[in-house]
Amino acid sequence: MKTQIATLVVTFLSGGGITGLFTYMQSRRDDRTQREEVYADHMPDLFERLDRLTDEREELKKQNTELSAQVSSLKSQVDSLNSVIDALNRQVAKLTEELKSRGDIEDEK
C-alpha cells in the first residue's frame, strides 16, 4: 500500500512537473510569436518613419551646403568692406594731418 501511494505521489509530481515545463515552453513560444506579430504590424510604419527622417536629413544637408556657401560669400564681402574702411581711415588720418599742418584745425586733447 505504501509503495502504491509513493508511486502515485511520484507520478503526480513528475506529471505536474512535466506539464508545468510544457506549459512554460508554450507560453514562451506564444510570447515570442506575439512580439514578432507586433513587430510585423509596425514595420510599415517604421519604414515610413525611416524614409521621412532620411528625406528630412537630406534636405537639412542641402540647406547646410547652401548656407555654408552664403556664409563664405558674406565673409568675402565683410573682408572687402573692412579693406575699404581701412583705406578710408587712412585717408581721414592723412587729411587730418594736412589740415593740422595748414593750421585749419587744432589738436584735440
Q: Alpha carbon 7 to chain centroid distance?
A: 66
CA atoms within 13 A on the CB side of 100: 9
> Residue 95 has what DSSP assignment?
H
The residue among 24, 4, 93 whose CA lies nearest residue 12 is 4
What pLDDT sits at residue 45? 86
What pLDDT sits at residue 51? 95
10-26 pLDDT, tens per residue?
565 566 666 665 666 66
Percent of the chain with pLDDT over 70: 60
Within the chain, residue ranges assigned H as helices are 2-102
Residue 96 burial class via C-beta count within 10 angstroms: exposed 0-12, middle 13-18, buried 19 and up = middle
Q: Is residue 56 scored above 60 in pLDDT?
A: yes
